[in-house]
Structure 1
Amino acid sequence: MPENRLDEIDRHPRTLRPRSAALVICDLQEAFRPVTIDFDAIATRIATLVQGLKLLDVPVLVTEQYPQRLGRTVSSVLHELGPDVMVLDKTAFSCCGASTFTEQLEKSHAWQILLCGLEAHVCVNQTAHDLIVRGHQVHLLLDCITSRTEQNRQIGVEKMRLAGIIPSSVEMALFELMRDAKHEQFKAIQELIK
């Protein structure tokens, strides 16, 4: 009898699967650094998440809201993404409002979307709703979203919960994707999140 039966049984449909998942980093841009709550901590957590997802071969999509005015994605995250990741410009608040985003998402074949970035009550909120209506399962990384005020963050999260998002976090997502301490990347990912 196999030691680990997780590959033999169906898992709950709300748990992440590496071949079904993709990360969307929504508008983590320099212009928001001085005006949003916990920006630096969130950028650090997202950079850590990107490192872990690279080890697990989970695709990452990145958007920038009107970068000519709001600047680029924070350098620490861009560094972890590497030169091959396409950063997608947009003017619509929802990432789904950019045809380049929806095209890249379709190419990824992901139906489980890890969603993070800012602002929680604007671009993240509208993206979550639009992804859900398109049939995606949205795992909202609550430790990787922010807004300019805590009230707006809370209202955004509540509205997304009512729409059907699945609350998650960096650690929760990485451990769900690995499933087992015997995963070949377990030790490397454990080091990342210590």
Structure 2
Amino acid sequence: MTRKFTEKRILVATHNAGKLEEMEQLFGPRGVTVVGAAELNLPEPEETEDTFVGNARIKAHAAAKATGLPALSDDSGIEVEGLDNAPGVFTADWAETPSGRDFLMAMTKTHTLLEEKSVAHPRRARFRATMVLAWPDGHDEVFEGRVNGTLVWPIRGKLGHGYDPMFQPDGYEITFAEMDADKKNRISHRADAFEKLMSGCFD
């Protein structure tokens, strides 16, 4: 039996402003106030697992323990079929630079590797998101979401974040970065996981 969420505030265990904004838009209609990890000066725990669920659990439990609030975290990334599902759980690592994350660099690296391997078109990929909702008593609930699509080059669009300019979801002629937030929030991997979270813990 899935545990129901009954509180009015939820801590979203992320320092990523784009993700936080997405969560505020998703939770707003349900009357749940979203608090971000940066707002509470929470340190970012080290993500030492090699699975999405493992890393999401680390972040959610660390935040819930530190604040006494139920905490939601997600670990997400893009899996490129022609690269044996890389970067996957290491998506953010591919963008790391000494001065912060550079996703243009990560997308360029991805494209270069696909070219070097002469991967045929269409170049299939999927975004995956794993959400973990953890309570201070150590209980958690896990929800998985995904969206399939193809990679485009050159990249297109200025909206969104991460790999969005390179990813064209199935059934659409535009990339995530060319989509307004409302449309993306209805079909994204995070939206898929969020919908499962809602029906599991909220409805």
TM-score tier by shorter-chain length is 0.3 to 0.5
What is the TM-score of this pair, normalised by structure 1?
Answer: 0.32
Query: Whose helix proportion is higher, 1 or 2?
Result: 1
Bigger strand share: 2
Q: Point out the structure with max Rg over C-alpha.
A: 2
Higher RCO structure, 1 or 2 (CA under 8 Å, sep 6+): 1
